[in-house]
Structure 1
Amino acid sequence: MTTSVAPTSTPPSAPTTGRPRTARNNRRRPSSSRRRSTPLTIVMLAVLAYFLLPLLWLLVATTKSTQDLINTFGLWFSRAPQLLTNIRQTLTHDDGIFLHWLLNTVLYSVGSALGAALLAAAAGYGFARFRFRGDNAAFNLVLGAIMVPTTALAIPTYLLFAKVELVNTPWAIVLPSLVSPFGLYLMRVYAQDAVPDSLLEAARMDGAGEARIFFRIALRLLAPGLVTVVLFTLVATWNNYFLPLIMLNDPSLYPITVGLSSWAAQAQNGGASASSDMLALVVTGSLLSIIPLVIAFLLLQRYWQSGLATGGVKQ
């Protein structure tokens, strides 16, 4: 009896989806991620040098005397560095007037930044969550105000403050800095996504008033955007020069920008030995004046980045 064995059919070959294709994909991905653009790299290095070289020069120049500032190479240290001596002379010159200018700058900048952030948050929240007659026209007016340079408004602001006798007072610096059109625009965009309508409706159903909703609920949600406006206004007021220059004539009220400018004017006069040493004090004071801004930026950088990112993407 013969038994017939059925021919074994070989299964069709499976498509090659395993290691070979994975290996090919793995070989391709590094090649695409490792692509380099030589022109773009050169441009980025040039931009990096553009921003860092002035800071490097300032760090090196702070360690030099006035004579070394003139006679030595700007991007390298002198043979006799005197950083601590320059710092001590800057802080003690003219009965410590530099520290007084620094305190004035802190008061002007912090007061302006906090006030501008609060006003921008209230106005931006109002534009984002309320509808009223002429809201679009009013907001377009704010957008137009962003394009107006602050220098163009300095003289009209001076004339206005002279009428109300606020010239040569701290209010002449703080009050104009409270208005931030860009901060209002930023907070309106941020509030549209950060404050949900359902949360506001739930608060209204619980009997909360609009003021309580804003201060107890909306402000907490707007915190990253508030930090962003605070940083922008803080830097703008800290570096403001022209407005304090025309508003203040009392040296005890000067911010650090106008104070260092007055020292630079004394250094340019020359002649006397006291004036010839002022150049080193100006350079050292310039370095000391940027340290608080760097510290503030590093401490608030996380909130600042989130404040810029949120509101740019619709959630």
Structure 2
Amino acid sequence: MTTATTGESTRPASSRAQDPARPRTKRAYNRDRRRSNLLTVILWLLALYFILPIAWLAIASTKDNADLFSTFGYAFGHFNLFQNLQDVFTTSNGIYLQWALNTVIYAAVSAIGASFLATMAGYAFAKYRFPGAKILFSVVLGAIMIPLTALALPTYLIFSQFGITNTPIAVIVPSLVSPFGVFLMRVYAADAIPDSMIEAARVDGAGEFRIFWQVGLRLLGPGIVTVFLFALVATWNNYFLPLIMLNSSNLYPLTVGLAQQQATSAGGGGSQALFSTVITGSAVSIVPLIIAFLFLQRYWQTGLASGSVKE
């Protein structure tokens, strides 16, 4: 006596296992398998590379001149932070406050101008087709490869012909040019602003500048913040350009002013030892940059998350 069997039961087990229609069991995600000990060690070394200098600066700013040379770099000595802070803001009739104000003006104006110009140029390269666009963009890419120190002396010779050296303009105007910012905004604008949105705005009667101002700037926010922070840090930490452009100590930024104090202390000859004052002033000078990064990093996170989910 024979019994009827279904097609499923007569199929061999191997064919049933290879059937794409059958649901497959998913393996549980194992976080340990995704770990790499080598990458972990490299990340810790990189973290120490960036953290140790800041830790040394924070510890050294609490020492006096004697402890700076008699104690280990990462060991605390006599706690002298408050006296060091008082010396920072009272030495040479409080010239540090003038240097800090100069630095804020130079960095803020340069960063705002550089980010705005880079945004307009990047938007134009990404969304418009005009004769010579590829050549101009190639020039921008080539300008990224040129170090800024190589352009400082020719810039000084040009500015001296116009008589604008030893003025804030001599520091701000060269800082408005950011080839890397133009490249970054060109790449970002190409994907962040859909061409269909621009065409829809044109159909509604909006002009090109209005489209850029009301549509483009809103979508390019994370990229603008990125360029702004790069330009802000570059101008804030710029040393060589203000050194050759400025002669008056009242116009110095913090980088040049603190370097002059350091040179005075190292020169000796009966001059006042300002080693702890210079180190504490350097520690105070990085606080605004830390605040700027902590305040603006949310815009980076928003930009990274945008476009990650399909609708």
What is the TM-score of this pair, normalised by structure 2?
0.88
CA distance in 2, matches of 1:311, 1:182: 23
Provide, for residues 216-250 of structure 1, a one-character-per-residue CA deviation record: whole Å limited to 9, x for no partner: 21111111111010000000000000000000000
Residue 289 (structure 1) aligns with: 285
Choose from 132, 135, 142 the match for 2:133: 135
Residue 56 (structure 1) aligns with: 55
Task: Please identify, of 196-205 and 99-108, the stretch whose mean Cα deviation from structure 2 is larger.
Answer: 196-205
Residue 192 (structure 1) aligns with: 190
CA distance in 2, matches of 1:214, 1:35: 44
Choose from 206, 217, 220 the match for 2:218: 220
Choose from 237, 243, 246 the match for 1:245: 243
Contact 1:87/1:284 (CA < 8 Å) preserved in 2? yes
Provide, for residues 53-92 of structure 1, a one-character-per-residue CA deviation record: whole Å limited to 9, x for no partner: 11111111000001110111110101x2111110111011
Unaligned ranges ≥5, structure 2: 18-23
Q: Report matched runs for 1:1-315 at 5 Å.
A: 25-26=27-28, 29-30=29-30, 33-34=32-33, 36-78=35-77, 80-272=78-270, 275-276=272-273, 278-307=274-303
CA distance in 2, matches of 1:257, 1:311: 40
Provide, for residues 145-191 of structure 1, a one-character-per-residue CA deviation record: whole Å limited to 9, x for no partner: 00000000000000011111110000001100100000001111111
**How far is 1:38 from its partner?**
3.2
Could you say what secondary structure the match of 2:27 adopts?
A: helix
Could you say what secondary structure the match of 1:275 adopts?
A: coil
CA distance in 1, matches of 2:207, 2:113: 23
CA distance in 1, matches of 2:127, 2:88: 51
CA distance in 2, matches of 1:310, 1:296: 22
Residue identity in the other structure for 1:136: K
Provide, for residues 249-276 of structure 1, a one-character-per-residue CA deviation record: whole Å limited to 9, x for no partner: 000000000000000001102243x522
Q: Percent identity?
A: 55
Residue identity in the other structure for 2:175: S
Q: 1:25 to 1:207 in 2, by over 3 A?
A: closer
CA distance in 2, matches of 1:314, 1:143: 33
What is the TM-score of this pair, normalised by structure 1?
0.87
CA distance in 2, matches of 1:56, 1:133: 53
CA distance in 1, matches of 2:275, 2:246: 23
**How far is 1:42 from its partner?**
2.6
Provide, for residues 20-77 of structure 1, a one-character-per-residue CA deviation record: whole Å limited to 9, x for no partner: x96x934xx32x6345433333322222221111111111100000111011111010
Q: CA RMSD in A?
A: 2.8
Contact 1:225/1:308 (CA < 8 Å) preserved in 2? no
Q: 1:36 to 1:292 in 2, by over 3 A?
A: same
Q: 1:151 to 1:230 in 2, by over 3 A?
A: same
Could you say what secondary structure the match of 2:76 adopts?
A: coil
Could you say what secondary structure the match of 1:207 adopts?
A: coil
Number of aligned residues:
298
Q: 1:304 to 1:35 in 2, by over 3 A?
A: closer
CA distance in 2, matches of 1:199, 1:77: 59
Task: Please identify, of 208-217 and 54-63, the stretch whose mean Cα deviation from structure 2 is larger.
Answer: 208-217
**How far is 1:306 from its partner?**
4.8
Could you say what secondary structure the match of 2:59 adopts?
A: helix
CA distance in 2, matches of 1:130, 1:313: 28
